[in-house]
Structure 1
Amino acid sequence: MELMKRTAVINVVGLTESLLGPTTPHINRFVSKGARANIVPPFPAVTCTSQSTYLTGLPPSQHGIVANGWYNHEQAEVQFWKQSNHLVHGRKIWEELRELEPGFTCAKLFWWYNMYSTADYSITPRPMYPADGRKVFDIYSWPFSIRPDIKKDLGEFPFPTFWGPGAGVQTPQGAPDACSRWIAESAKWIETKYSPTLSLVYLPHLDYNLQRLGPKHPGITEDLRRIDSIVGDLIQFFEQRSVRVILLSEYGITPVDTPIHINRILRENNWLAVKEELGLELLDAGASRAFAVADHQAVHIYLNDPSIENKVRAVIEKVPGVADVLDRKQQEARRINHPRSGDLIAVSHENAWFTYYYWFDDNKAPDFARCVDIHRKPGYDPVELFLDPKIPAVKLKIALKLLKKKLGFRMLMDVIPLDATLVKGSHGCRPSNPADYPIFITSQPELLANGQMNPTDVYHQIKRHVLH
């Protein structure tokens, strides 16, 4: 075990070279003492794909995480943000390092696919869903004993600040950076209690306003100050305990102004099927000839009728904002050819992104469309970061709904708008400027070969930091 160097990998979501400056003095100081490289973004550059690529050293064509969610052919359902690590194929970095040294241990803190992994210690967001229809915010941990012990010391995880309209803004539940601060404190707690050889720490604070406001908005400077303070404190903590530190990110977020409602286009051509339930419309993926699973700037298009592939492609290629459409053969070059992938994958221009919207009339939108509901929606929805500006006294409405929930009544937290133009930042395609690529910063400059690396190289870089 003496041969292994204890290492912490801090994933600062959305951090790029273009964001470093006067508002990031702690990160700048860390760069000046070490070395920095840009990571060529994986495709698509989204959370689950990026993290799985980093932790397996494999492309999506091999590890199988082609997006944050995809269509399950056998169940005829779109499934998003699943949490079982069994979905990620290939050997994980902690498994290889454990083979090299049986005493090796790994802590995986809020990185995705954290449930039922072979990591020694883990914490991940996981609500509870009692039979009465409530949703109770909580976390899942391994070992189970971590959950009650860490909540006793740190308090409840501030779940409303992890995603939704309360993420990245001041709320009664906490400061704008409350969830990232809790996660950082959990990393200290785990380090103090268990001293793992490798700690994987996820800090999401930048992700919220970079999507909500866009990276050019002046308000981002405050977000940079906040994350820099958290990161600086965590670096100091780990270095005082002789733990090497790597800072990295999963993707860079670029300004957007063009939402693409690709499912509406498929519906206009009579390829997408919708069923009406309780007066509202639900996408019927299994009955559709073609439908799209949207995820930021990439969208998987699934064809239950292969005969229409050329027609679908011809239509999508003409849509303003679409940069490319990849068939199965072309997906091989992007290393995303996998049974979970769409028959076609459309990629947007840097200033555009894809919505999951399929209804024409907002009065027919499903009830979950106006809620934070990451699992039921057949696609990623960044509009969940907003409160509907059309609702009078919306915060009072939320307070009344929460009171109703506390009294044991069922309620629908339908406060999310249906206006995709509110979103000002996105990711998924490869930015034109390398300064907007994800970043890799190390405290060990001698271990970094050059100023740019492929996403699969991150695995090997982490391995080198532990072994050399």
Structure 2
Amino acid sequence: MRLAVLNIVGLSKSLIGENCPGIRSFAEKHGVQSYTPAFPALTTTGQSSIITGSKPEQHGIVANGWYDRENAEVRFWKQSNHIVQGEKIWDTLRGQLRETMPEFTCAKLFWWYNMYSSADYTITPRPLYPADGSKFFDIHTQPMMMRDELKANLGPFPFPAFWGPAAGIASSEWIASSAKWVEEKHQPTLSLTYLPHLDYCLQKDGPDSPLVADQVRAIDHVVTDLIDYYESRGIRVMLLSEYGISAVHQPIHLNRLFRQKGWLSIKNELGRETLDCGGCKAFAIADHQIAHIYINDKAITREVRDLLEKTVGIDEIRLQNHPRSGDFIAIAKPDAWFTYYYWIDDQVAPDFARTIDIHRKPGYDPCELFVDPEIKFPKAKIAKFLVKKKLGIRGLLDVIPLDATLVKGSHGRDIVPDEEKPVFIGSSEKVEHAEDIHSAILKHFSP
């Protein structure tokens, strides 16, 4: 029997109730398990642990981004599947089923590290960046010819609904439609589909917000429709999530503390401050509730650790044995999270700080989900930018706030209450850790 795995980001037992009758019914029928997430409990780390059946120390995805020591550059949200070390589940299955199911194929839809994968059919968001500095929303597919066919049949991928202040259900709806499209065209043996919707409201408004109920109902409708669609074609369905979301109230600005100690190297670029990581004695790469601490001057290692241990909001310091990892990993308390901020005066913050720029920032920035409430007429400002863009005039869509207290939800910790743990639904195989899901999927295809 073929298998479809739906990754419903942010789903936990606490959300499986009256607002998601379809998912609740599926869970009552097939059983629901909560499991300890990968550490760190982050998108790319969790997905890579599931895909390879190994821990970050083996597959190398230590966070959504890290400091590349050799190139002295921060690399966030890269897309090549070659970055993930170890054998992928579709390659394992292709080898195991060579004799009994030589026609095996895998579709990997919007899971991360999806470019140049050995999976048969892939779709991933990928903007176009012409030489004039402009940016156009688009997707990347394998096979490449699928890209034009998809857009012709489904319309353009609604990129603003995938990330940013306009993030919403439209992106998950399009992804679900693309999953049906791939099924109808190619009938993959294993389909992996990523549905990001809950991530937005849970980080923006917090898991306790009354606004979450409508968003849960919205993703439940998408998921239930997909379950019905796959089951009508005789395809088994499994549901999973990578992490749950914790309510947070306390941002921690580690790089500002490091700056006060004289450990940062700051470069003035046209009146704006940028972080010169290669010249820093020590700095933090923040990613939700964890921060990798990289130390270039080993003489201050003990001093750095002492500061971390005394910093309000930090719960624990860990080590992670992989070259991409920092010298320390700081873990926030349950109600805290880490910013990447390093400037003291907002007037000299880098120009990208107030924009949606997931690659240039030396850390993850959930404030990209908001429009700055200090802007009096934000719609007019955005409209003006779009008109200038249409006319070929370059400019910044600088509408993102620098107020980290706006963020109400985060993740990254692996020690969380049961009701905040990620879930796995649709298999009788016991799952205690993220890597166990890999085994459960393999078991489905065992004779």
Confirm or deny a common fold (TM above 0.5). Answer: yes
Q: 1:41 aligns with which of 7, 15, 37?
A: 37
1:387 and 1:394 in contact (8 A); partners too: yes
Q: Give, in angstroms, the shift of residue 238 of structure 1.
A: 0.3
**1:253-304 CA distance string (max 9 Å, x none):** 0100000000001111001110101000000000000001000000000000
1:45 and 1:429 in contact (8 A); partners too: yes
> Where does structure 1 lack aligned partners over 5 or more consecutive residues?
169-176
Is 1:284–2:276 an aligned residue pair? yes
Q: Give, in angstroms, the shift of residue 454 of structure 1.
A: 1.1
**1:42-89 CA distance string (max 9 Å, x none):** 110000000000000000000000000000011101110000000000
Is 1:324–2:316 an aligned residue pair? yes
Is 1:24–2:5 an aligned residue pair? no
Partner of 2:158: 158
Distance 1:337 1:214 in 2: 32
Aligned letter for 1:94?
A: W
Q: Secondary structure at the match of 1:453?
A: coil
Distance 1:466 1:395 in 2: 51
Partner of 1:67: 63
**1:215-259 CA distance string (max 9 Å, x none):** 000000000000000000000000001111010001000100000
> Where does structure 2 lack aligned partners over 5 or more consecutive residues?
none
Is 1:57–2:38 an aligned residue pair? no
Q: Secondary structure at the match of 1:234?
A: helix
Is 1:455–2:439 an aligned residue pair? no
Q: 2:323 aligns with which of 339, 346, 366?
A: 339
**1:130-162 CA distance string (max 9 Å, x none):** 011111000000001110001111000000000
Q: Secondary structure at the match of 2:343?
A: coil
Q: Secondary structure at the match of 1:363?
A: helix
Partner of 1:116: 116
Partner of 2:130: 130
Pick which of 423-432 and 362-371 moved more: 423-432
2:36 and 2:415 in contact (8 A); partners too: no
Partner of 2:86: 90
Q: Give, in angstroms, the shift of residue 317 of structure 1.
A: 1.0
What does 1:167-182 correspond to in 2, within 5 Å? Answer: 167-168=167-168, 177-182=169-174
Aligned letter for 1:76?
A: A
Aligned letter for 1:80?
A: F
Q: Secondary structure at the match of 1:218?
A: coil
**1:347-367 CA distance string (max 9 Å, x none):** 000100000000000001000
Distance 1:215 1:411 in 2: 35
Distance 1:91 1:38 in 2: 26
1:127 and 1:135 in contact (8 A); partners too: yes
Aligned letter for 1:70?
A: W
Q: Give, in angstroms, the shift of residue 467 of structure 1.
A: 2.7
Is 1:233–2:225 an aligned residue pair? yes
Is 1:433–2:414 an aligned residue pair? no
1:370 and 1:417 in contact (8 A); partners too: yes
Distance 1:160 1:466 in 2: 37
Is 1:258–2:250 an aligned residue pair? yes
Partner of 2:195: 203
**1:352-386 CA distance string (max 9 Å, x none):** 00000000000010000000000000000000000
Aligned letter for 1:270?
A: G
Q: Give, in angstroms, the shift of residue 466 of structure 1.
A: 2.7
Q: Give, in angstroms, the shift of residue 448 of structure 1.
A: 2.3
What does 1:305-320 correspond to in 2, within 5 Å? Answer: 305-320=297-312
1:254 and 1:431 in contact (8 A); partners too: no
What does 1:313-392 correspond to in 2, within 5 Å? Answer: 313-326=305-318, 331=319, 336-392=320-376
Off by >3 Å, runs of 4+ in structure 1 = none
Distance 2:268 2:230 in 1: 55
Q: Give, in angstroms, the shift of residue 431 of structure 1.
A: 4.5
Q: 1:14 aligns with which of 10, 14, 22?
A: 10
Distance 1:18 1:430 in 2: 17
Distance 1:98 1:385 in 2: 39
Q: Give, in angstroms, the shift of residue 316 of structure 1.
A: 1.2
Q: Secondary structure at the match of 2:208?
A: coil
Is 1:189–2:181 an aligned residue pair? yes
Partner of 1:249: 241
Aligned letter for 2:206?
A: G
Q: Secondary structure at the match of 1:163?
A: coil
RMSD: 0.8
Partner of 1:142: 142
Give the percent of matched residue pairs that are identical in Structure 1 and Structure 2. 58
Partner of 1:295: 287
Q: Give, in angstroms, the shift of residue 341 of structure 1.
A: 0.3
Is 1:401–2:385 an aligned residue pair? yes
Partner of 1:173: none
1:35 and 1:448 in contact (8 A); partners too: no
Is 1:464–2:435 an aligned residue pair? no
Q: Give, in angstroms, the shift of residue 434 of structure 1.
A: 1.1
2:249 and 2:405 in contact (8 A); partners too: yes
Distance 1:85 1:58 in 2: 15
